[in-house]
């Protein structure tokens, strides 16, 4: 009997030891590779039991808190997922390509209807996701929303000599359509904003002179998709400011933790993204965190950038679940930002969301009204969009444009690193606000013109001199490009005709119209305000019509390639004889300065779309 009791005691002790070992909290770290030992950026690492997760960084590294014995799931788009039991603190994982992944995706209602607007529409996709060796089918409804855009047309210079618009610098469209193409989809037409595609890339524009915060250049070349017209590139460059010289930051991270943010490419990617930013904060910078789901709350009071561990832990503690009270979150974030306002600093709310607001103020119109009120507080807004399936691009565009802000789409950690680390100053600071551009064309040389892109940023001509009209902001080192297609005098004007007027005299004799005899093709005018001023200043740049060399520069070739590709994706009425081969040929001439490989990635996207349309 004693022996039996001793055995039972030994067994009980062994079981307790096993339980204690297997239930022990540990932190597992390592790298995620492909078969060629190349790091996989943005791979999802998830605890199967708790659904807690993280994503790998630009080196493929990950770090996750778990319990000994829990199952970790490693997933990456286009690769077979792996399930591994957490038994040690260091774990490197290799993933194999899923050669059958394209056959496992069936898209209903896409096909030949790919160009139709889906604003308010629902497309259903039936997807099989490999979870280890087990296939898990589920239904995903695509309810993404985009604002319909009416493409700019040609205008007659004699009737409309001025073109005026706001110089916003959003680049979200490019990241979003890249995500779609990488998933094997042709982008939705209204998701394509050509100016955002062009401005995703940096260009070698000269630094401003004469103490101005911005400078202007212009260049003309023969249009590659219509040899009878010309393209005029207008380049804007904001002055550079070294990172250590930027004003102190008062940041509020406004993070959507609603149920729609559970996916690996949403809240886990948000956390990883914001940690990249936190790593670059200085002691004089401060961060508060507001989280919102069914309601909004302060997850971290304003904290010095020197206390990075505290900020990181607050990010790690965020969990997704519930409805989405975006309006309440915005109100609380601005309240906290105002409470910690730095008079000489950079005060900014950084919103991270998929835009799927559904509680309280949630309509595009309601959000516009709300954010316009907050704009007067002197606090800027950065909008970072995440996710797919329910992404509300139209609402995030509204917030960014009406809230003195910018808008980027984060589809992976590499893009987060670009926006929040490499371009930290230009994304998170301001050197000029309410920046507007107005171009006056000379009818002696230009019959007609059209602005390529910027459809949602057009202004009335009178708005150019009206300092109460809101416009875009420029950060340190920012480059912005605007592109016009112009029809020279002597070439037929591609504009609609109207009946002759009864009450006004008309003449076709240009010598009798009183046009100026100047030899200028056009004049570029730019208005801006300094961040702490309310009165605008004006810059002007006349562009000569006598320059005969219309060979494009390296950067201009690349700009034309991106514009041509964007117009093809939008099924533009003005693509002429554009082809994907011409896009690649032009883009290849613009690869001289491509340290991060963004331009080469663009060429790969063009080639992928060419295959999708076969």
Tell me: the pLDDT tens digits for 226-274? 999 999 999 999 999 888 888 999 999 999 988 888 888 899 999 999 9
75 and 197 together in one domain: no
Residues 341 and 302 in one domain: yes
pLDDT single digits (tens) 28-45: 999 999 888 888 876 778
Residue 227 lies in a domain: yes
Whole-number Å distance between alpha carbons of 283 and 81: 41
Residue 31 counted as domain residue: yes
Domain finish residue from 79, 94, 109? 94
Among the listed residues 78, 70, 16, the one whose alpha carbon sits nearest the alpha carbon of residue 46: 70
Of 408, 428, 448, which closes a domain? 428
CATH, residue 345: 3.40.50.410
Percent of the chain with pLDDT over 70: 83
User: pLDDT class for 515, splitting at 50, 70, 90?
Assistant: low
More confident residue, 172 or 122: 172
Q: How far apart are CA 391 and CA 407, in angstroms?
A: 13
The answer to whether residue 148 sits within a structural domain is no
Q: Does a structural domain hold residue 2?
A: no
Per-residue pLDDT at 554: 93
Q: CATH number, domain at 185?
A: 2.60.40.1230
402 with 293, same domain: the answer is yes
Q: Could you tell me the pTM of the whole model?
A: 0.76
pLDDT-based confidence at 564, cuts 50/70/90?
very high
Residues 285 and 422 occupy one common structural domain = yes
Q: Are 217 and 300 found together in one domain? A: no
Same domain, 398 and 518: no
- pLDDT of 78-106, one tens digit each? 788 899 999 999 999 999 887 654 333 33
Could you tell me if 185 and 197 are in contact, meaning their C-beta atoms sit under 8 angstroms apart? no
Which of the four pLDDT bands, split at 50, 70 and 90, describes residue 360?
Answer: low
Sequence length of the chain is 614
* Domain residue limits at 115: 101-142
Q: What are the residues whose beta carbons fall under 8 Å from the beta carbon of 231, sequence distance 6 or more?
A: 220, 221, 222, 223, 224, 483, 484, 485, 486, 556, 560, 563
User: Which tens digit of pLDDT belongs to each residue from 375-430?
Assistant: 777 888 899 999 888 888 988 888 888 777 889 999 999 899 999 988 888 888 88
* Residue whose token pair is 């706001």: 166
Burial code (b: 16+ CB inside 10 Å, e: under 16) for 75-108 equals: bbbebbbbeeebeeeebebebeebeebeeeeebe
Q: Residue 114: pLDDT above 60?
A: no
Same domain, 131 and 181: no
Using CA atoms, how far apart are residues 73 and 30, in angstroms rounded to an integer? 14
- pLDDT at 516 exceeding the cut of 70: no
The count of structural domains within the chain is 4
Task: Encode pLDDT of 447-468 as tens digits.
Answer: 999 999 999 999 999 999 999 9
- Co-location of 306 and 253 in the same domain: yes
Distance, CA of 138 to CA of 527 (rounded, Å) = 52
449 neighbors 485 (Cβ within 8 angstroms): yes
Residues 358 and 487 both lie in one domain = no
Please check whether residue 521 lies inside any domain of the structure.
yes
């Amino acid at each position: 009997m004693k022996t039996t009791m001793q055995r039972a005691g030994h067994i009980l002790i062994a079981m307790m030891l096993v339980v204690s070992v297997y239930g022990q909290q540990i932190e597992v770290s390592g790298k995620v590779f492909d078969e060629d030992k190349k790091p996989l950026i943005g791979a999802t690492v998830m605890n199967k039991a708790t659904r807690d997760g993280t994503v790998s960084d630009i080196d493929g590294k990950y770090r996750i808190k778990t319990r000994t014995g829990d199952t970790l799931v490693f997933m990456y788009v286009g690769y077979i997922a792996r399930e591994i039991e957490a038994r040690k603190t260091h774990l490197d994982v290799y993933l194999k390509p899923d050669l059958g992944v394209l056959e496992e995706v069936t898209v209903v209602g896409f096909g030949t209807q790919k160009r139709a607007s889906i604003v308010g529409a629902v497309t259903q996709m039936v997807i099989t996701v490999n979870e280890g060796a087990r296939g898990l089918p589920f239904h995903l409804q695509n309810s993404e929303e985009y604002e319909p855009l009416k493409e700019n047309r040609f205008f007659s210079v004699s009737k409309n000599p001025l073109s005026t618009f706001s110089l916003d610098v959003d680049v979200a469209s490019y990241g979003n359509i890249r995500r779609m193409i990488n998933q094997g989809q042709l982008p939705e037409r209204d998701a394509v904003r050509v100016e955002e595609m062009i401005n995703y890339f940096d260009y070698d524009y000269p630094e401003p002179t004469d103490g101005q915060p911005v400078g202007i250049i212009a260049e003309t070349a023969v249009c590659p998709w219509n040899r009878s017209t010309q393209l005029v590139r207008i380049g804007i460059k904001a002055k550079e400011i070294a990172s250590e010289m930027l004003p102190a930051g008062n940041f509020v991270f406004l993070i959507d933790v609603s149920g729609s943010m559970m996916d690996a490419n949403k809240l886990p990617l948000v956390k990883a993204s914001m940690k990249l930013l936190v790593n670059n904060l200085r002691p004089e910078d401060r961060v508060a965190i507001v989280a919102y789901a069914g309601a909004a709350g302060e997850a971290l009071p304003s904290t010095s950038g020197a206390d990075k561990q505290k900020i990181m832990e607050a990010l790690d503690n965020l969990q997704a679940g519930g409805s989405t009270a975006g309006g309440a979150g915005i109100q609380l974030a601005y309240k906290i930002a105002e409470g910690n306002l730095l008079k000489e600093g950079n005060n900014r709310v950084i919103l991270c969301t998929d835009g799927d607001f559904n509680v309280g103020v949630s309509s595009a119109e309601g959000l516009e009204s709300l954010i316009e009120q907050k704009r007067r507080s002197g606090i800027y807004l950065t909008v970072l969009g995440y996710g797919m399936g329910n992404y509300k691009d139209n609402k995030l565009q509204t917030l960014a444009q009406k809230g003195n802000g910018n808008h980027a789409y984060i589809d992976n950690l590499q893009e987060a690193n670009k926006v929040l680390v490499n371009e930290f100053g230009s994304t998170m600071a301001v050197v000029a606000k309410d920046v507007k551009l107005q171009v006056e064309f000379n009818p002696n040389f230009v019959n007609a013109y059209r602005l390529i892109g910027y459809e949602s940023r057009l202004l009335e001509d009178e708005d150019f001199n009206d300092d109460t009209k809101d416009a875009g902001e420029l950060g340190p080192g920012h480059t912005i490009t605007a592109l016009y297609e112009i029809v020279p005098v002597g070439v037929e004007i591609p504009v609609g005709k109207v009946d002759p007027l009864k009450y006004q005299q008309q003449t076709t004799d240009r010598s009798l119209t009183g046009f100026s005899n100047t030899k200028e093709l056009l004049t570029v005018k730019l208005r801006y305000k300094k961040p702490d001023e309310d009165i605008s200043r004006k810059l002007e740049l006349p562009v000569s019509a006598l320059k005969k060399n219309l060979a494009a520069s390296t950067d201009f070739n690349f700009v034309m390639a991106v514009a041509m590709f964007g117009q093809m994706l939008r099924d533009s009425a003005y693509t002429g004889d554009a082809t994907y081969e011409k896009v690649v040929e032009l883009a290849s001439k613009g690869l001289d300065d491509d340290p991060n490989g963004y331009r080469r990635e663009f060429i790969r996207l063009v080639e992928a779309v060419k295959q999708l349309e076969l």
